[in-house]
Amino acid sequence: MDFGIDRLLASPQLLGELKGRRVALLAHPASVTRDLTHSLDALVEAGIDVTAAFGPQHGLRGDKQDNMVESPDFDDPVHRVPIFSLYGEVRRPTGQSMGTFDVVLIDLQDVGCRIYTFITTLLYMLEAAARHGKEVWVLDRPNPAGRPVEGMALRPGWESFVGAGPMPMRHGMTLGELGHWFVDHYRLDVAYRVVAMEGWQPDAAPGFGWPDDRIWINPSPNAANVNMARAYAGTVMLEGTTLSEGRGTTRPLELFGAPDIDARSVIAAMRSLAPQWLAGCSLRDCWFEPTFHKHVGQLCAGVHIHAEGPHYDHTAFRPWRLQALAFKAIRGAAPDYPLWRDFPYEYELGKLAIDVINGGPGLREWVDDPRATPNDLDAATDPDEAAWRALRQPFLLY
């Protein structure tokens, strides 16, 4: 199959529309062509007048390993164009940077989760383009988590850099499709188009979103493989807890643990509470010692989520509920366990990180309520998921 960047480079008509115009690129390390040429290099080679580039969180080069670490602006040493950071001194493009181009190409590999900040960066670029009269093209890429929808919708007033709009945690759309939804939802007067993929089959085995003829490249340093992308809608919630999400290990955001939990007991409690929420994957107890971030240098008992190989059932796997269930199991075994981490998460002050991540307090309140059952969480969440499936339908391109 062909991604948007491949279709653009193979189309004399599309390339012709860019000739004579100043072009910017918003990209990261996974912005590559079929032959693994970075999109910036490929566009210059194709004769496009690239006058600037932008980098999202972790930078154009993906060099910022840890979370919430800012990237500076710099000049590209090869092509001699300015590289503007959208995760440094600013999150939104400035008037100065918007003056460097006529049309911006957005070529970002997403992982299909509301909290992954690339979709908020897309929204901010669309809003800036509307104000400055610029054109936006998304060179579309697959959603590696596929079409499934899961999680509570973000509540009004909880918008943030990890909450671009009232969607569930797992939205089941591509970046190009989300752009169409953003334009409609926020009534943006902007020239927007999608260079669509060709041959993407989000419901087809074995990838169920990620094509087996394309190499996976980390879009951010801790997005190491498709298993991570599948699990991320659940494991990202660990960032709002005292549990390690595996940063500082070779399998970040695929596992969780801490020095003071009993991983086997946690798995057993999860199976007792809601075995139906564990379908579609396999859980394995393990040990790990983070080299940085939470619990650095300490031996942690952990649980590894395997949503891959023969253990994976695409339609049954529900990572958000699975991770919520792990929190519930830990809370049930130790009601006073200091589970929630209190710190300024993505510059949001006065709110617990777990609530910022979930776009409201509903998940945390369910975990902390000893009377709340799995059926209660389903009852609160199912309507949001059904509403989003209906709302997104007109914007699906594949």
Q: What is the residue-wise DSSP string for 316-354? A: T--HHHHHHHHHHHHHHH-TT---B--S-BTTB-SS-HH
Query: Alpha helix locations (H) across 149-242?
Result: 175-185, 226-235
The ranges of the chain annotated as CATH 3.40.50.12170 are 4-220+391-395
Both tokens of residue 102?
């006529």
Alpha carbon distances (Å) from 293 to 290, 326, 392: 7, 21, 37
Residues 216-243: pLDDT tens digits? Answer: 999 999 999 999 999 999 999 999 999 9
For all residues of the chain together, what is the average pLDDT? 96
- Per-residue pLDDT, 61: 78
CATH class of domain segment(s) 4-220+391-395: alpha beta
State the pairing for strand pair 135-139/103-107: parallel
pLDDT the model gives residue 67: 58
Domain ranges in the chain with CATH number 3.90.1150.140: 226-380
Band (65; pLDDT cuts 50, 70, 90): low
Q: How many residues does the chain have?
A: 398
- How large is the average pLDDT for residues 299-312? 96
Pair 100, 22: CB distance under 8 Å = yes
Provide the whole-model pTM: 0.95
Tens digits of residue pLDDT in 115-157: 999 999 999 999 999 999 999 999 999 999 999 999 999 999 9
Q: Does the pLDDT at position 88 exceed 90?
A: no
The domain made up of 226-380 has a fold known as Aspartate Aminotransferase, domain 1 (3.90.1150)
Bridge partner list, 283: 305
The backbone torsions φ and ψ at residue 7, rounded to the nearest 5 degrees and listed phi first, read: -70, -40
pLDDT at 63: 67
